[in-house]
Structure 1
Amino acid sequence: MSPQHSKPVRHIPWGKWLLISYLVILHAMMAIMLARYGLPLSVRIKLGLISANTPFYESMLIYQHSVDTSLPDGTVVFLGDSITQGLANVAVAPNSVNYGIGGQSTSQLHDSLRNYPSLPRAKAIVLTIGINDFLQRGERGVAQRLARIDQALPAHVPLIWNAVMPVAPAQADLSGVAQANAEIKRLCAQRPQCTYVDTWPLLADASGLIRPAYFLPDGIHLSPEGYRVWIVALRKHTQP
């Protein structure tokens, strides 16, 4: 038998070692940065980590994030859907910002909360969310999504949590909305510094039907008079 010859050990040139070390350090630094600051908003949207299902929603998230990065401490932050977006927030609290987005659901709001790094420094958070889950027939699991929003919001910041707004009976299952509001009221009662604002006695009659003067013809969005009534109620909880 012919003797076996061992293959010579190939040494990696020092230049390649330097390149490998550089790449390892670079990836480690990127991992640390991502762990600390998270992925950029535009990347999270593209990866589907935030359900920006329309160009409008995506553009609103990006715009609001750019505003929030320079927001001063002690601002009252409004979160919600188109009903919040249409609110003259400065009529409620002069030092405030409106982050309402038309069409926003509970799952979208939960996924986008990291978009607002100012929330832990806010004077208060005014939250109105949930009606789009019913309008879009996605109300199944809404109680669990409301609970996740509750857990994600900073516990030390006062929360003014509005009921899911009344709408015309043809638009949504009002019994389901009532159940969602019972869950909001329960979550708020268990949370420190939380005020539940029941908007139904303000905007609907004793039978639960909307007051026509307070709503637009679609039976969903508030009229100017409806907003005035809501603003008066909110002022009681945001102003000394």
Structure 2
Amino acid sequence: MKKLSFLLLLTTALHFVAIAQQAVPYENEIKAFEEQDKTTPPPKNAILFTGSSSIKLWQSLKTDFPDKVVLNRGFGGSKLTDVIHFADRAIIPYKPKQIIIYVGENDVATGTVTAQEVHDRFVTLFTKIRKSLPKTPIVFISMKPSPSRRKYLPITIEANKLIKDYLAKQSRADYLDIYTPMLDATGQIRGELFRADSLHMNPKGYEVWTEKLKPLLK
């Protein structure tokens, strides 16, 4: 009876541990990266791309930058809080040559944060990375003007400016404006750069990003 009770308690405990692990957003994706790294060691001195789905879905990353060693560690529909949480596992251990970040748009889309809060979260992420990798250059790709999130664009624009102003005062840091190139001559969003969901980009959208980013890559 005691053995049965022990097994029951153990099974229950393991069940709750599993639930707790699943409760952390994107834990499974980060674990998948870690398992992949065990079987196929990641390249050294790579340019690491991190952030939300716009990075994760950049399937042409290696062919867009054929003369660079790149590593894609974008995950889910992550927010800045998620990238901060997993920085010790999905950014810092790789000791990359350079870090390219696209994140923040999903924070804004919650409708519960101000531009200042998005800026503050970015500063937290930037500071965390710099503490462990003080000499690693960092590029922040500005948040894009997604057609499906038009109502949030005022906050997006303000947050982009706050982050741009912050990075202007930092060493080995660049702000890449991709917001403007994704507008037409009249200031309207170029819908042809997006998939049918009006949120994620199609290959034409990534072509714009690639052209603008190339001069900043180490």
* Fold-level similarity (TM above 0.5): yes
Distance 1:85 1:163 in 2: 16
TM-score (norm 2): 0.78
* Counterpart in the other structure of 1:195: 174
Alpha-carbon deviation of 1:101?
1.1
The structure-2 alpha-carbon separation of the partners of 1:138 and 1:68, relative to structure 1 and needing over 3 Å to count, comes to farther
3-state secondary structure, aligned to 2:49? strand
| 1:71 paired to 2:42 | yes
TM-score computed with the length of structure 1 as normaliser = 0.71
Matches of 1:124 and 1:211, distance apart in 2? 30
Equivalent residue number for residue 65 of structure 2: 92
Paired residues of 1:168 and 1:209 also in contact (CA < 8 A)? no
Contact 1:125 1:158 in 2 (8 A): yes
Q: Secondary structure at the match of 1:236?
A: helix
SS of 2:147's partner is coil
Distance 1:123 1:163 in 2: 21
Q: Distance in 1 between matches of 2:188 and 2:167?
A: 25
For 1:191 and 1:67, locate their aligned partners in 2 and report how far apart those are by CA, in whole Å. 34
Contact 1:77–1:119 (CA under 8 A) maintained in structure 2: no
- Please list the CA deviations of residues 119-149 of structure 1 after superposition, one character each: whole Å capped at 9, or x if unmatched: 5721110100001012222424222111101
Distance 1:59 1:47 in 2: 8
Q: Tell me which residue corresponds to 1:103.
A: 77
Residue aligning to 1:174:
153
1-structure distance, mates of 2:92, 2:50? 12
Could you give the per-residue CA deviations for residues 188-228 of structure 1, whole angstroms, max 9, x where no partner exists? 11221111110012112355432011112322111111111
Is 1:228 aligned with 2:207?
Answer: yes
Aligned partner of residue 77 in structure 1, secondary structure: strand
Higher relative contact order, chain-length normalized (CA < 8 Å, sep 6+)? 2
Paired with 1:61 and 1:105, the residues of 2 have a C-alpha distance of 14
Helix, strand or coil at the partner of 2:122: helix
Distance 1:65 1:171, change over 3 A: farther
Counterpart CA distance in 2 for 1:184 and 1:65 is: 30
Could you tell me whether the CA contact under 8 Å between 1:150 and 1:187 is conserved in 2? no
Return closer, same or farther for 1:68/1:155 CA change in 2, 3 Å cut-off. Answer: farther
Shift of 1:77: 0.3
CA contact (8 A) 2:80 2:121 kept: yes
Note if 1:144 corresponds to 2:116.
Answer: no
**Kindly tell me: are residues 52 and 205 of structure 1, through their superposed partners in 2, closer, same or farther at Cα, counting changes over 3 Å?**
farther
Q: 2:174 & 2:154 partners in 1: Cα distance?
A: 23
Aligned to 2:24: 52
Q: 3-state SS of the aligned residue for 1:173?
A: helix
Aligned position for 2:4? none
Distance apart, 1:111 and its partner CA: 0.8
Consecutive unaligned residues in structure 1, runs of 5 or more: 1-42
Structure 2, gaps ≥5 residues long: 1-16
Rounded to whole Å, the distance in 2 between the matches of 1:165 and 1:196 is 13
Flag the structure with larger Rg: 1
Aligned length: 192
Over 3 Å counting, the alpha-carbon distance change for 1:212 and 1:47 in structure 2 is closer
Amino acid of the residue matched to residue 238 of structure 1?
Answer: L
